[in-house]
Amino acid sequence: MNDFAATFDLVTGVLWLALAVVGIALRLKRLARLQRIVLVDPTDGHDELYLHQIKVSTYLRLGVKCVLLIGALIAVFDLGGLWWAWRLGVCLMLALMIWETTSVDHIRGVLGRTAREPVTGSRLQSEGESR
């Protein structure tokens, strides 16, 4: 029975490790795309606010994937010395998730109050697009 438990832990740990690496790669790719977004002049404040929140959210999710990677490394390679980093990462990510949730609620409230107002002259355009 002990061999089954060890094998199960190893297989699930490797799968979590793969998931973390793929998640980090995808978040980095998304951040690269977000950095190329240019808001056309005149820029509406709502667009800037929304784009900023998307970037913050993406950074937060990248941090979560890094914490997941640390946990997977601990499980797969038995790196007990990284427990402190994992615990610190979990506490930091939980605090940032609470902060992000409240800031998203604030932004939804701002956008909801002004939904009836027309947004003129603003749209998202990538640098590579022609005008």
pLDDT surpasses 50 at 125: no
Residue whose entry in the numeric block shows the structure tokens 């990538």: 126
Is residue 120 in a domain? no
Residue 32 lies in a domain: yes
Of 110 and 59, the one with more pLDDT: 59
Domain of residue 38 covers 2-115
CB 97 within 8 A of CB 60: yes
Residue 51 lies in a domain: yes
Whether 35 maps to a domain, the answer reads: yes
* pLDDT of res. 122: 44
Residue 117 pLDDT: 60
For the purposes of burial, counting CB atoms within 10 Å of the CB of 39, is it exposed (0-12), middle (13-18) or buried (19 or more)? middle
Residue 17 domain-assigned (yes or no): yes
Q: Is residue 103 part of a domain?
A: yes
Number of domains in the chain: 1
Looking at every residue in the chain, the average pLDDT score rounds to 83
Look at residue 124 and tell me if it is in a domain: no
pLDDT grade for 128, boundaries at 50, 70 and 90: very low
